[in-house]
Structure 1
Amino acid sequence: MSKTLFTSLSKVAALAFLFAALAAPALAQPANVLIFGDSLTSGFNLPEAQGFPAQLKRRLLADGYNVVVWNGSNPGDTSADGYSRINEALQYNPDLVLVEFGANDMLDHTDPRVTYRYLDAIIRICKARGARVILAGMLSLPKNGPNYIVGFNNIYPTLAHRHRVPLYTFMLAGVYGHPALMQSDNEHPNALGTAVMVAGVAPLIEANLRQLRLVAHEAR
């Protein structure tokens, strides 16, 4: 091999190493996942390590995802409360937001059109800030009557279709109605119920994290 060729190859290798070094920090950065909702995802009445954000983080890390999970959920919040603090919650610069509101709206018998408008605004703001959104759905209790049930239950699939965001149909799927998975108030999940919630929604979150990886790779 000539000295000139060897020198040229060395320069190419050095440049390749430099570009890889510059790109490495971006790839090593964890994805910020924001859990933004009410008591169902806040870890209400549970030790922090057993709450939804902590259990979800352990699941994602165990599955090989480099993430930071932020708990932006607040017990008692309605969709209106969520709207009032969405900009504050976005200080975490999330790559992915799980939006989970509506249970308290439903318990307060809030007009579904009002809940729709606030959730619509929350999703719009998150997307405008560059975050990917997953919408977590809620279902009305039977006692609210057929008209309310139809109006309320249609909020989530309608919004998901409108904004082209993935929908997790019912946040308490497999949990609500099972006493062993609920706290004594029969409204909030216990640690076991929270584990069921995490197991249900984690595959959807992971699918979206893979999409974020793909987008980041294509942008390089």
Structure 2
Amino acid sequence: MRHTWETVFDLGYGALRALRNSAIALSVSTCAVLAEPVTVVALGDSLTAGYGLPQDEGFVPQMQAWLVAQGADVVLLNAGVSGDTTAGGLARLDWSLTPDVDALIVTLGGNDLLRGIDPANSRANLEAILKAAQGRKLPVLLVGMKAPGNYGPEYQSQFDSIYPELAAQYGTLLVSSFFAPLGSEDPAKLGAFMQADGLHPNKDGVAKIVAGLGPKLLELVASVPK
């Protein structure tokens, strides 16, 4: 079969076009492979750390599994330290927020309550954490705690107001209480979901908390700039 110059040109153009299309497909494929998951740091105390539970039954591992099940491309880092107060969380914030971090969950204040720390101090520490996150342009999910009545109504009112007021001031997402998904703040009513110490959720309690907080975490992830 004889080829005219036009036929040769068409064949060459067709090969070039196929090569170009292959390059585009490879580029898109490479970008998809190189796309990084959203990295979220969970800054908290023993509730975040998973105190008293096997490694895979704590809050962070269960939440990570829940996120994967929802199809979210997220890496959740456990920055929970048992016994930590809001002051402790603030003290280690800088080295917790590495350059690859995209968002932050803050679950602190429970140990401030156990120690009867002045709510003004707790507020100042939490505000400093939110200011630092704002300075890094990190979206935040602030998870509150509720004060028991044994410190008196004034203390309770001052402490409970910290989380909604700071969330409004700094434009963060808010969950009113870590224990809200369990349906009560009264440990006496939560026996089926708590460990023997009455302070920390068991595996089933964590699962309910994860299911309750998970949608807010998805909202946090969606707010991360692409």
Report the TM-score range of the alignment, normalised by the length of the smaller protein: 0.7 to 0.9
In structure 1, which of residues 169, 176, 179 is the aligned counterpart of residue 176 of structure 2?
169
Residue-by-residue CA offset, 1:147-197 (whole Å, 9 max, x unaligned) = 111110010001101110100110011434311111111111111111111
1:79–1:115 CA contact under 8 A, matched in 2: yes
Aligned partner (choices 27, 32, 40) of residue 24 of structure 1: 32
Distance in 2 separating the partners of 1:185 and 1:21: 51
In the alignment, structure 2 segments of 5+ residues that lack a partner are 1-6
| CA drift at 1:19 | 4.3
Structure 1 runs of 4+ off > 4 angstroms? 4-12
Q: Which residue of 1 aligns with 2:55?
A: 48
Please name the residue that 2:105 is paired with.
98
The alignment's C-alpha RMSD in Å is 2.1
Residue of structure 2 aligned with 1:196, choices 203, 208, 211: 208
Aligned residue for 1:91, secondary structure, equals coil
8 Å CA contact 2:40–2:103 kept in 1: the answer is yes
Kept after mapping to 1: 8 A contact 2:193/2:204: yes
- C-alpha distance in structure 1 between counterparts of 2:84 and 2:161, whole Å: 20
AA of the residue aligned to 2:106: V
Q: Per-residue deviation at 1:15?
A: 5.7
Partner Cα separation in structure 2 for residue 83 and residue 211 of structure 1:
23
The one-letter code matched in structure 2 to 1:13 is: N
Q: How many Å separate the matches in 1 of 2:93 and 2:212?
A: 25
SS at 1:201's partner residue?
helix
Unmatched segments (≥5 aa) in structure 1:
none
User: Is 1:180–2:180 an aligned residue pair?
Assistant: no
**TM, length-normalised to structure 1:** 0.88
Contact 2:42–2:77 (Cα < 8 Å) also in 1: yes
Post-superposition offset of 1:22: 5.0
CA contact (8 A) 1:171 1:197 kept: yes
Does the 8 Å contact 2:109/2:122 carry over to 1?
yes
Q: Is the 8 A contact 1:35 1:99 kept in 2?
A: yes
Mapped pair 1:209 → 2:217: no
1:117 is aligned, of 124, 145, 151, to 124
Deviations 1:84-127 (A, max 9, x none): 10112113732121101011112212111111111111122223
Q: Is the Cα–Cα contact under 8 Å of residues 181 and 213 in structure 2 kept in the other structure? A: no
Provide the rounded CA distance (Å) in 2 between the counterparts of 1:9 and 1:207: 42
Percent identity between the two aligned chains: 32
TM-score by length of 2: 0.86
Alpha-carbon contact 1:137-1:156 (below 8 Å) kept: yes
The equivalent residue for 1:13 is 21
Structure 1 residue 5 displacement after superposition: 6.5
